[in-house]
C-alpha cells in the first residue's frame, strides 16, 4: 500500500519521502510488473526513503518535517509519541484497514476470518497518542466476497479499496477541501492484539469442524500455516475445506487421517471430515505424501496453553526476542 500511495503521489508531481522500518523494507510487493522488495520498488519510482529504527527519535526524519508536510501512516512499525505527532501540527493521519472504532489493533484479516466477518472497511483518522482513536477524516466500507477465505484473499480486495480511499483523500487535499471530522464512538470500540503465526496458530482438535477450518484459513497465505504435531514432528497445514457429509466420529477418532485421495488427507473431527491439501514441515518441505492412513494430528496441551497466554510484541526489526 505504501508503494501504491508513493506511485500515486509521484504521478501527481508531489514531493515524496518514505520512512519505513527494517522489517517492512524487505517485504515483497508487486510493482505492476514483477515482485520486488518495498525499497526496490521505491527506488524504481525515484522516491527517496529512510529505513529508521525509530521515527520518533530519528533526526533525519525530523529534518524533513516542515509546515507544508503531510504525514500519512500506513501500518507503521512505531507507536508515535506525542512529541513526534506535535511536529506535524495536526497534519498527520493514519489509514486503518478496519471499521473503526471496531477492530482496533493488529492482525486484522486473521481476526475477521476467525469471527466469520465479511463486512469490512477502512478509515483515515488523525493520529493522536492513542491506538487508532483519532478523529475520523474519511472512511469507506465494503463486503468481502465469498471467494475470500485466506488473509491474502482479503488483502487483494483491501489494497484496491484502500488505494481508492487514499486517492480520494489526496484529491480532496489538492482541492483544499474542508474536512468534516467525526469523533469515534467509544461505546462501540473493540481491540484485538497482534498475532504470531508460529506461536498462536496451533490447532485445538477438540474444536468443531467449522472452527478448525476457519482457524486454518486465518493463518493460511501469506503466513506459514496453522500448526500441529504428528508424533514428535511439528507440521503446518494450509488449503483445507470441510466435508460435512463425513462421520459422525467419536471423540477418540478426532485427528486421525482416515482417507488419502487425490493429493488430499481426510481427517476426522467433530462435525465431519477436514480435507487438507497442504502439509509442510518446519523447513517448508511438503510431507503430505509421508503421512500414512491412521496417523493422528495432535497438539499437546502445553502448546495450546502457551498460545493462549502469549502476547506478541513486534519491534521495527521483527518479533520481540528474535
Helix 38-45 × helix 2-11 angle, to 10°: 0
Convert the pLDDT of each residue in 130-161 to its tens digit: 889 999 999 999 999 999 999 999 999 999 99
Looking at residue 300, the DSSP 8-state letter turns out to be: -
SS3 assignment for 8-73: HHHHCCCCCEEEECHHHHCCEEECCCCEEEHHHHHHHHCCEEEECCCHHHCHHHHHHCCCCCCEEE
Domain ranges of the chain: 1-68, 91-193, 197-319
- Structural contact between residues 156 and 118, judged by C-beta atoms closer than 8 angstroms: no
Highest CATH level, class, for 197-319:
alpha beta
Place of cell 502448546: 303
Cell of 121: 472497511
**pLDDT value at position 235?**
98
Q: Which residues pair with 92 in a beta bridge?
A: 71
Sign of the torsion formed by the C-alpha atoms of 228, 216, 122 and 160: positive
Q: Is the fold of 91-193 the same as that of 197-319? A: yes
**pLDDT tens-digit map of 258-291:** 999 989 999 999 999 999 999 999 999 999 999 9
pLDDT of amino acid 322: 43
Taking phi first (over 0 means left), then psi (-120 to 50 degrees means alpha), and beta for anything else, what does residue 284 get?
left
CATH tag for 91-193 (out of 3.40.50.170, 3.40.350.10, 3.40.50.300, 3.40.50.720)? 3.40.50.170
- What's the rounded Cα separation, in Å, for the pair 25 and 172? 29
**pLDDT values of the chain reduced to their tens digit, one per residue, 322 residues:** 899 999 999 999 999 999 999 989 998 888 888 889 999 999 999 999 999 999 999 999 999 999 999 999 998 888 899 999 999 999 999 999 999 999 998 878 999 999 999 999 999 999 998 889 999 999 999 999 999 999 999 999 999 999 999 999 999 999 999 999 999 999 999 999 999 999 999 999 999 999 999 999 999 999 999 999 999 999 999 999 999 999 899 999 999 999 999 899 999 999 999 999 999 999 999 999 999 999 999 999 999 999 999 998 877 767 765 4
Q: What is the predicted pLDDT for the residue at 55?
A: 93
Q: Distance between CA 12 and CA 73 in Å, rounded?
A: 19
Q: Which strand (E) or helix (H) includes residue 115?
A: none
H-run or E-run covering 235: strand 233-243
Amino acid at each position: 500500500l505504501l508503494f501504491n500511495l508513493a506511485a500515486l503521489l509521484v504521478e501527481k508531481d508531489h514531493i515524496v519521502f518514505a520512512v519505513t522500518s527494517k522489517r517492512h523494507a524487505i517485504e515483497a510487493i508487486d510493482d505492476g510488473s514483477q515482485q520486488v522488495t518495498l525499497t526496490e520498488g521505491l527506488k524504481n519510482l525515484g522516491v527517496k526513503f529512510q529505513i529508521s529504527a525509530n521515527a520518533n527519535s530519528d533526526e533525519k526524519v525530523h529534518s524533513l518535517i516542515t509546515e507544508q508536510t503531510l504525514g500519512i501512516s500506513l501500518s507503521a512499525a512505531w507507536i508515535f509519541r506525542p512529541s513526534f505527532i506535535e511536529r506535524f501540527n495536526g497534519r498527520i493521519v493514519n489509514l486503518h484497514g478496519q471499521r473503526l472504532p471496531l477492530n482496533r489493533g493488529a492482525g486484522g484479516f486473521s481476526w475477521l476470518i476467525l469471527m466469520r466477518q465479511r463486512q469490512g472497511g477502512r478509515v483515515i483518522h488523525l493520529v493522536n497518542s492513542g491506538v487508532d482513536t483519532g478523529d475520523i477524516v474519511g472512511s469507506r466500507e465494503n463486503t468481502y466476497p465469498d471467494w475470500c477465505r485466506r488473509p491474502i484473499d482479503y488483502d487483494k480486495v483491501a489494497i484496491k479499496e484502500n488505494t481508492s480511499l487514499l486517492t480520494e483523500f489526496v484529491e480532496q487535499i489538492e482541492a483544499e477541501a474542508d474536512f468534516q471530522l467525526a469523533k469515534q464512538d467509544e461505546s462501540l470500540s473493540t481491540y484485538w492484539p497482534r498475532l504470531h503465526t508460529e506461536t498462536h496458530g496451533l490447532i485445538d482438535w477438540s474444536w468443531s469442524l467449522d472452527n478448525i477450518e476457519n482457524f486454518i484459513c486465518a493463518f493460511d497465505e501469506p503466513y506459514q500455516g496453522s500448526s500441529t504435531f504428528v508424533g514428535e514432528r511439528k507440521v503446518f497445514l494450509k488449503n483445507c475445506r470441510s466435508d460435512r457429509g463425513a462421520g459422525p466420529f467419536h471423540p477418540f477418532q478426532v485427528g486421525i487421517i482416515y482417507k488419502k485421495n487425490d493429493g488430499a488427507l481426510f481427517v476426522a473431527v467433530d462435525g465431519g471430515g477436514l480435507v487438507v491439501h497442504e502439509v509442510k514441515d518446519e523447513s517448508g518441505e511438503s510431507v503430505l505424501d509421508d503421512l500414512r492412513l491412521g496417523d493422528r494430528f495432535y497438539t499437546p496441551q502445553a502448546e495450546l496453553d502457551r498460545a493462549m497466554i502469549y502476547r506478541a510484541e513486534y519491534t521495527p526489526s521483527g518479533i520481540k526476542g528474535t
